[in-house]
Every structure is written in structure tokens, then in C-alpha cells.
Amino acid sequence: METCPHPSNDNPQEAQPKQSGHGKLPPGPGGGFGLNRLIHRLRDHAGFFEQLFAQYGDIAYFSMAGQKFCIVFGPEAIDQVLVSERRAFEKGPLYHNNRILKNPTTMTTVGPEHRRLRRLVQPSFRTKAMQGYSEIMIDEAIKLRDGWAEGSVVNVDQPMHQLALDIVGRAFFGPDSRVESSLLKGVLNALTWDAILNVVPLGWWIAGLPLPRNRRSRRAIESMDEVVYEVIGKARADDQMQRADLVSYLVHAVDDEEGEPALSNEEVRDESYVMFIAGHETSANTLVWCMYHLSANPETRARVEAEVDEVLEGRRPTFDDFSRLTYTGAVFDEVLRITPPAMVIGRRAVRDCEVGGYHVPKGTIVQAFVRAPHRNEKYWPNATEFRPQRWLEERGHQPKQSYFPFGAGESKCMGAMFAKMEVVFTLAAITQRWRLDAVSKEFPAVDSLAGFYRCKHGMPCRVESRT
């Protein structure tokens, strides 16, 4: 496991476990306001968590900016928080205090309300819907690929984010909607800003100030609302279900099993926003990391090229090719293992509970650090090596949550197959024509403040023709 190179600024004498009336608290760097911890986390979110794991093991507890935190790193403790003891927790402040969403959503709720919404949203990601989405993914990936030139240098961070935006715009809102790329970027910035305000001290106060960024965020959301409600209106009028975008699937969702009412317009609006969050940033960052790992591992790239050539034989990909591009799919799985784009899954304890044999008080923010089990030699031999082949071999017994890039339990992301299909088809389309080599051979600088693990300065790559 890679550890953070930065030394801790906290007093090591504070690092002993403390006692409570209900049991022993987990080990950790201590109490107080935790200014040094806050600065470290803001500067290097991933490094801060990795240092905690290196010092304290599978669970760590501390105070920071007036809030108690418990970080879980081991699969067993993670499974307790996300699955077996999930009723002791609610979604964390990143979701729970969201100021843009007006109703409970599949991303922000737990319990019966979550299960109701999940039943209604699930058809949006079944085979029929995925077939339609796949055509959009392939169209946009080929359009991106054909816009590049031999010998050019492309910072793939920008085109991969643009690609993800274009796919989401068409797949979620339909080809006839007024969703311009600039508007989607504005909405994404608004959602990211809201997420940042939910994790920094006095974020609620900053959100109420007449700052330019706050005003831009409000304008973007208001403009997007107009588009979303227009699409909802078209879908309501489409009695024959001719439309095949995600919003239309949500509008026509029914739950025959429980006899639950359909989603309201406001619920459809909010679900489309959370799907946009889940369907854009993580997919775009995964594609960027794919470019890095393929460039850094020429043998892996050669095997992807061979598979794409054999399966596609020079033709355009189709939906049925997805199940045949097995090694390319394994590349996706390995990228999510070694550089998972979503770094943290957060919860808040709604009552006093026990995690990993330690007492966790009510109100504690409990965060599962995705990278820790993914890169742990106990569960993944040669864990820091990029080896997609491991996904095509018998791996033996591994504990639950030794790999959980899409969450776990009843809150596991429903768009996991959407994301994998998007990446596989994009890699296939690009590989048919180009080979991308990262300009720098160094591991890129990383930005992880908002909970995403992404390249801070992008990924400049040289475009070389395979022919």
C-alpha cells in the first residue's frame, strides 16, 4: 500500500485510544479543533487518508473543525457501515445537506424511501434502455476519435469530460433537448461547488453570501431546470413511449409489485441531477486514468488492441460486442481497483454503534476510504501492479468490500454497467485508430478535494496512428 509522504503535524501523544462510557473509541490522532488535520486534508485528501491507514490500521477516529470523524479502511468494517449495520447510518453530509436537490433521491436516502425510489429507477438501466444508450456512446466516441490528428498532443482530460457530457446530454435528456455543453458544465460546476461547501467549515454560511460563484451556480441550476421540465413535459405527452432517454424512463416508471405511485415531476428532476453527477465525473476520470495506465503498460495496450481488432474486424462497435470485449472490460475493472475515481463513501451515525469492535458515537461522520482495500496486498497480490488479467483468473476467496468502486449493498450504484459500457466502447473506438502515449512518464499530480481522485493538470498524450 502506498503511503502519504507528508509527515503528520499532530501531536503523537494524542494518538492513543480514548475511553467512553459505552466502550473504547477507535485509535486516531486525537481531539481538539484539528487545524493541522484540516489543512492536510484540504491540501492532500488522499494522502491524508493514506497516512491515517498507515498509522492506525483498519479504522481511525479524530476531531476536525468541531466534527467527529471515523475513517474505515478494512473490508469487514466497511461492510458493517455499508451493508450489515447500514440502519445505524444515514447518508453523509455530502449527500444529506445538498442544497440543489429538493426531494429524497436514490443517492441521498436509505431505508424504505430508498428502496421505493430504487424500484422506480431500476428500469432505466435494464437491457432495452442500455441498448439505446450504447448507440449514443458509440456515436460520440467515434466523433471524438475522428476529430484527432496524427502527431498532435491532446490533453485527454478535457475531451474525456466533454465526451461524458455529450453522452449524458443525449442519453439522459434526449437528442431534441436544449442541453448545450456549456450549460452542462455550469451545472457540473454548481454541483461540485455544493459538494465542496458541504465538507469545508462554515460552508453553509459561504453558500448564503452574494459571491460570483454562488450566483453562477444558481443561474446554471435555474437554466437546467427549464430544460429538464421541458423534457419531462414531452415525456408525459408521449403515450406510446417513443422516447428512449433516461428522463422519459423515469417519467413512465411504475412499481407494480408494491403499488407505489409514479415519480412526481420534482422527483424526476432530482433523480436526473443525481444520475448526472454519477454518470459524468467518475466516467470521465476513469477514461483519463485508462489512458495513463495503457500508456504506462505497453503489453496491456497491445492486448487491448489485439482484442479490439479480432472482435470488431475494423467495423463499428455494436451493443452485442460489449460482452465479447472481455479483456478491455478487465482493463476497466483494474483501473477502478488501482485508481478508483470516487475516493470516499460517506455516512453519518444516527445512533451509538460499534464498528470494527470499537464504539462510534451518534453523529460521527463515518467514511469508507475506497483506495485502502483496493490496493492492499492482503487481498490483491502485487497490489500496486496494473494487471487486468487478474479479473479473468480465479482469484480465490476475497472478503466482501475488498473491491467496491460503486458502493455496496442496497445503495450500490445502479449505473455501474452504464459506466463500464461507456468506457469499453470508448476504448474500443479509440484503439481501432489511435495509440495514445502520455507525454510525461511520471505519475500525474492528483486533485482529490471533492472526493474524486483525478489528475490535477490533466493528461497530455501524443496521438499516433495504428495504421
Our measurement of the distance from residue 306's CA atom to the centroid of its chain's CA atoms, rounded to an integer in Å, reads: 29
Q: Say whether pLDDT at 120 is over 50.
A: yes
Is 104 part of any domain? yes
Q: Say whether pLDDT at 245 is over 60.
A: yes
Q: Which of 129-138, 248-257, 323-332, 333-342 is predicted with the least confidence, judged by mean pLDDT?
A: 248-257
pLDDT for 1 equals: 37
Q: Say whether pLDDT at 92 is over 80.
A: no
Going by C-alpha positions, the residue among 451, 450, 347, 377 that lies closest to residue 72 is 347
Is 191 part of any domain? yes
Is 426 part of any domain? yes
Report which secondary-structure segment, H or E, holds 227. Answer: helix 212-236
Q: Say whether pLDDT at 11 is over 60.
A: no
Amino acid at 347: R
**What does pLDDT average to over the chain?**
88
Q: Say whether pLDDT at 389 is over 90.
A: yes
| Total count of residues recorded for the chain | 467
399-424: average pLDDT:
94
pLDDT for 273 equals: 87
CATH number of the domain at 264, please. Answer: 1.10.630.10
Please give the biggest Cα pair distance in the chain: 70
412-434: average pLDDT:
96
SS3 category, 290: helix
pLDDT for 43 equals: 84
Q: Say whether pLDDT at 97 is over 90.
A: no
Q: Which of 213-227, 275-289, 384-398 is predicted with the least confidence, judged by mean pLDDT?
A: 275-289
Q: Which of 100-104, 208-212, 239-243 is predicted with the least confidence, judged by mean pLDDT?
A: 239-243
Amino acid at 218: R
Q: Which of 76-80, 119-123, 303-307 is predicted with the least confidence, judged by mean pLDDT?
A: 119-123
Q: Say whether pLDDT at 2 is over 50.
A: no
As a whole number of angstroms, the distance between CA 329 and CA 435 comes to 18
pLDDT for 15 equals: 39
Q: Would you place residue 96 in the very low, low, confident or very high pLDDT band (cuts 50, 70, 90)?
A: low
Is 241 part of any domain? yes
167-189: average pLDDT:
85
**Alpha-carbon torsion 421, 422, 426, 427, what sign?**
negative
Q: Which one has a higher pLDDT value, 221 or 281? A: 221
Structural domain range at position 264: 12-465
Going by C-alpha positions, the residue among 250, 29, 248 that lies closest to residue 121 is 250
Q: Is 21 exposed, middle or buried (0-12, 13-18, 19+ CB in 10 A)?
A: exposed
As a whole number of angstroms, the distance between CA 108 and CA 435 comes to 40
Most confident segment among 169-173, 402-406, 451-455? 402-406
Amino acid at 182: S
Going by C-alpha positions, the residue among 189, 336, 173, 168 that lies closest to residue 268 is 173
pLDDT for 9 equals: 36
Q: Say whether pLDDT at 30 is over 90.
A: no
Cα Rg for the chain, rounded, in angstroms? 22
Q: Say whether pLDDT at 235 is over 50.
A: yes
% of the chain exceeding 70 in pLDDT: 92
φ/ψ bin of 23: left (φ > 0), alpha (ψ from -120 to 50), beta (otherwise): left
As a whole number of angstroms, the distance between CA 418 and CA 403 comes to 18
Q: Say whether pLDDT at 432 is over 60.
A: yes
369: phi then psi, degrees, rounded to nearest 5: -90, 110
Q: Would you place residue 16 in the very low, low, confident or very high pLDDT band (cuts 50, 70, 90)?
A: very low
Q: Say whether pLDDT at 21 is over 80.
A: no
227-231: average pLDDT:
92
Adjacent-strand bridge partners of 367:
71, 346
394-403: average pLDDT:
89
As a whole number of angstroms, the distance between CA 330 and CA 304 comes to 10
pLDDT for 195 equals: 77
pLDDT per position as a tens digit, 450-466: 678 889 889 999 999 99
- Strands 460-465, 353-355: pairing kind: unpaired
As a whole number of angstroms, the distance between CA 370 and CA 340 comes to 7
- Tally of structural domains, the chain: 1
Is 7 part of any domain? no
pLDDT per position as a tens digit, 318-363: 999 999 999 999 999 999 999 999 889 989 999 999 999 999 999 9
Is 2 part of any domain? no
Is 4 part of any domain? no
Q: Say whether pLDDT at 227 is over 60.
A: yes
Is 3 part of any domain? no
Is the distance from CB of 89 to CB of 351 less than 8 angstroms?
no
Is the distance from CB of 37 to CB of 59 less than 8 angstroms?
no
